Structure 1
């Protein structure tokens, strides 16, 4: 009898230790994600304020699109972390709240490649049609393009919410753990349509970037002198193409983790999913605006000035 009691206590102790180890591992993962996100949202915010401080940045299409990239990626990072905070806290918000968060995270993920496509077209017109660039790429047209980016980015998530609310009239009043699979009632036709639209976006943006890249290279080769702006645009478009590949990870993320779930244990699957999310989704979103900003000499000097003033709590002089 005593041996049975000791064995029961030992098993209970082992279960307690395993639970504490799992909690410690989850907290360490969450802490790393929160730290990385906080640092880069702070950096993006400083760069965003720096860009808004000068009229030339607020009126130039190239910098307007770059500022939109900063804002879009920061929104995605903040709300992705918010979903993780709610999940780690084992909270079940109403579907109305969760639906808003999911709409923002999904739309910003779609906006990223679309914004790259518009940025590529702007560089294409600047290099291939320099005399008409000021007429083709105006401030007004740039803002219209940004509105169009958000329109196409919001189509799928808003359609999911509307369809789910029509099928279930009490949809927004229910409580659920935030996640696309748990949130929306997705019919087979709806899933196919969503994947088709996302694929169409990526194919279109890829063709736009390749078209712009080929034409800029052609102009660079036909130029009689080594044009510095042409070479810089060439490298920028190449960076757009690399960034597009990283954005493609967002589209493949759900399919990849669903495939792995069938072959891995729950503990290993959790670690692999976290690693893929951190390296393929979060870090590229954090680093890309910083890379773009540091390549531009004017933005780099202004950002460094604002960052130093922010850290020392001194009002920057523009």
Structure 2
């Protein structure tokens, strides 16, 4: 018994250290996202540019996902149980916005394809009127896997289950093995469609890059690098969709290994893709980076000056 207690105590301390590091990372990414969102809303010219609007959608989606997934992480870490109906609401947000980001990234890749390969039609296809429709379509497509996932649960779950207190996790909604198959089929379908779109856009932009004139070659290759970064970010987001299945399998093998895998998955496939969005458009994009320096950092500087004078 003494050996088990010391082992458990050492494991808890290790988890606490990881939990603190995760909270620091989450707070850092949320602060960065807040600055970028603030910059977007400060400069009205960004409201009419498709890639910046989609970028803002990604930032908001990432922020919602970080807040809700971190809430679930903390609840699971401290073994806090909540009523199932409340867990459903939190999990719905997590599943929805875990899909919004990859779908938006795919839309951003298509926007780069239109801008580079069909420049004469870019203004028409990416007009301000279409932006609203595009955002609605993104959320509509992203909600379909969530609807498929919860429809089977609502059909099978008894009314008494909603009032029970449990540790909130996506695994608790899997009441039968065939629900896994439905979720897996939907994810694989989305994965296949997104990969085809990314690959198609990459090949087409590559063709344009090879034949572009000297003046256009620089912007074309920059667009190609953006598509590559989107592809890598999308890959991490899509792997994230498989996390519940991986963790369920590992949990049955070894609980200690499950704790390590869960921490790695959360950092690698939840936090890492969220730090790439600010890099792709927040720092690499000259217009947005200059606006970030002008509005965000200048406002902070002015606020500090005013506090010192008072």
Q: Normalising by structure 1, what TM-score?
A: 0.86
Following superposition, the deviation at residue 81 of structure 1 comes to 0.6
Computed over aligned residues only, the root mean square deviation of the Cα atoms, in angstroms, reads 2.4
- Give the alignment partner of residue 135 of structure 1, picking from 91, 112, 124: 124
| Residues in 2 aligned to 1:142 and 1:187: alpha-carbon distance in whole angstroms | 40
Deviation at residue 185 of structure 1 after TM alignment: 4.3
**Comparing both structures, which one devotes a greater share of its residues to helix?**
2
1:314 equivalenced with 2:303 (yes/no): yes
Distance 1:130 1:32 in 2: 45
Structure 2 SS opposite 1:93: strand
Q: Deviations over 1:75-126 (max 9, x none)?
A: 1111111001222332211112111111111111112221111111111111
**What does residue 300 of structure 1 align with?**
289
In the alignment, does 2:106 pair up with 1:117?
yes
Paired position in structure 1 for 2:165: 175
SS in 2 for 1:176: strand
Number of residue equivalences = 303
- Secondary structure of the residue that 2:120 maps to in structure 1? coil
Unaligned runs of 5+ in 2: 306-310
On the 8 A contact 2:42/2:295 being kept in 1, the answer is no
Check the 8 A contact 1:73/1:286 in 2, yes or no. Answer: no
Residue from 211, 215, 237 that aligns with 2:200: 211
Q: Report 1:145-224 matches (<5 A).
A: 145-167=134-156, 168-182=158-172, 184-224=173-213
- Given that residues 174 and 180 in structure 2 are in contact (C-alpha distance below 8 angstroms), is that contact kept between their aligned partners in structure 1? no
User: 1:306: Cα distance to partner?
Assistant: 4.2
Q: Partner residue of 1:244?
A: 234
Q: Supply the distance in 1 between the matched residues of 2:155 and 2:269 (Cα, whole angstroms).
A: 35
Contact 2:22 2:267 in 1 (8 A): yes
Structure 1 position 239, deviation (Å): 1.3
TM-score, length basis structure 2: 0.88
User: How has the CA–CA distance of structure 1 residues 187 and 16 changed in structure 2, closer, same or farther, with 3 Å as cutoff?
Assistant: closer
| Match for residue 35 of structure 1 among 24, 44, 56 | 24
Moved more, 67-76 or 284-293: 284-293
CA gap of 1:313–1:41, structure 2 versus 1, over 3 A, is farther
> SS of the residue aligned with 2:80?
coil
Q: Distance in 2 between matches of 1:214 and 1:308?
A: 39
* Equivalent residues of 1:213, 1:238 under 8 A apart: yes
Are residues 1:256 and 2:284 paired? no
Corresponding residue for residue 58 of structure 1: 47
Q: Report the Cα distance in structure 2 between the residues aligned to 1:149 and 1:186, rounded to whole angstroms.
A: 29
Between structure 1 and structure 2, the one with the greater Rg is 1
Moved more, 34-43 or 242-251: 242-251
For residue 308 of structure 2, what is the aligned residue in structure 1? none
Gaps of 5+ in 1: 1-10
Structural mapping, 1:72-83, within 5 Å = 72-83=61-72
Q: Rate the CA distance shift 1:16–1:212 in 2: closer, same or farther, 3 A.
A: closer
What is the CA-CA distance between 1:166 and the residue it aligns to?
Answer: 3.5
